Amino acid sequence: MSKSIIRMVTGSNASLNQDVSVTIRVSCKQSPAELDLSCFMVQADGKVPSDDFFVFYNQPADPKRTVQFTQNDAYSGQFEINVQALQATDLQKCVFGVTLDGPGTFADVKGLVISAKTADTELIYEVNEGSAETSLVLAELYRHSSGFKLRAVGRGFHGGLKPLAEAHGVVVADEEEERRQTEETIAQTASASSVNPAPVRPAASVHLTKIDLLKKQVAISLRKKNIEQEKARVAVVFDASGSMYQLYVNGVVQRAFERVLAVAASMDDDGMLDVWFFGSKSARKPRVNERDFENYVQRTYPVPQAFGGLGSGNNEPLVMKDIIQKYTKEEPSGIPTYIVFFSDGGIYETNKISKLLVSSSKHNLFWQFVGLGHADFGVLRHLDDLRGRFLDNADFFALDDLDRVSDEELYDRLFNEYPEWLRQAKAKGIVRAT
């Protein structure tokens, strides 16, 4: 039987047959920035019961997995909705939104479409009107009689994620206001009388920056490995050779940086991430914490202005020597150092890299190499066979497309061998036992 297709316009609504599931898909043909898609599962008052019912890239399902989100690529994604499970809840509707994660507004977005598919019906809403906002409510899946309908909304929000989230009951922390409230709390506590010493606490709020949300998944992965209480200095190293150019332009390197920054924010003793870039030459870049993550890569190593300034080749030994110098000579410490090293291949300095890994195996350094694409990664593919090390101090895995790997999978792989190295490093006195 052929599928019935219904085209919708702003303000219209249409019924959905009561299938087991509905697929809501959002996509566009052209956009100045990545699309961040979201679903707010709201009650009769239009608010989420808690932030657990805010479903999007970094929280891809509600607690009962009634709504599950998948990011297909930077410009499309879909939500799978168990309609029967949704019917059994007190939730009244699912609100689908989209935010631009970068420059521009929706006036610059072309071919934005949201569709709802069941076994025999497809509802299609093309958002044709250019909007000067950076966030939109696209559609609502809401209760009607004994079933559900889809309403085409197309309503904009100025200011991005914050007003969109707040409109649906999610409180996004304002760091400056939170700091002011904390200072007031301290002052009120200090001046409180002995009769009434209870402090006035600032209102609770939910952080929804990318890093805060990534930290949730980091915590889950650390808990799986039973190392959630362990501290470490964290560093990230980015290949800046000529073949990496497109990954910088497309924002892949920035997104990789954000995902590692969440590790530093979770594990590092002071929440700081140390950063290196390398090509034929290497360069240390400013340390950074989660409050200053936005556009860090472009601000620090701008493309195309600065790209190529470190040369077009790959000189891993040079940057590795500088890392070893920093952590063993300049800033020695008893806590472990966890280094995430991104490269798209072209690794040929086998002997030099091998010697550096062997010599650094007596220090509190763990190297986690991540390959990007199907390239020649040389000695990195044979780390398990590298002899002469005091401890196995390195791991490697390659990814076809970093953006297509979920946070859960990425963090689980990043912490694959590190816990065992940490256990042995403590036993041999390389790192301080906690």
Is residue 31 within 8 A of residue 17, CB to CB? The reply is: no
Same-domain status, 285 and 349: yes
234 and 299 housed in the same domain: yes
Q: Which of 132, 149, 166 is the last residue of a domain?
A: 166
Total domains present in the chain: 2
Answer left, alpha or beta for residue 173, where phi above 0 means left and psi between -120 and 50 means alpha. beta
Pair (128, 218) in one structural domain = no
Last residue of a domain, one of 166, 182, 199: 166
Give a yes or no: residue 186 inside a domain. no
Residue 292 covered by a domain: yes
pTM of the model: 0.58
CATH of the domain at 62: 2.60.60.30
Q: Among residues 182, 335, 338, which one has the least CA distance to residue 269?
A: 335
With residues binned 3-state (H G I as helix, E B as strand, rest as coil), the percentages for the chain, rounded to 5, are 30, 30, 40
Domain span at residue 150 reads: 4-166
Residue numbers of the chain with a pLDDT score lower than 50: 175-179, 181-182, 185-186, 189-190, 192-207
User: Residue 271 in contact with residue 307, Cβ under 8 Å?
Assistant: no
Q: Are residues 104 and 232 in the same domain?
A: no
User: What would the pLDDT profile of 376-386 be if each residue is shown by its tens digit?
Assistant: 788 888 888 88
Shared domain for 160 and 249, answered yes or no, is: no
pLDDT digits (tens, 9 = 90+) for 101-138: 878 889 899 999 999 998 888 999 999 766 788 899 99
What's the pLDDT tens digit per position in 227-274?
Answer: 988 999 999 999 999 889 999 998 899 999 999 999 999 998 788 999
First to last CA, the chain: 65
- Domain with 266 in it: what CATH number? 3.40.50.410
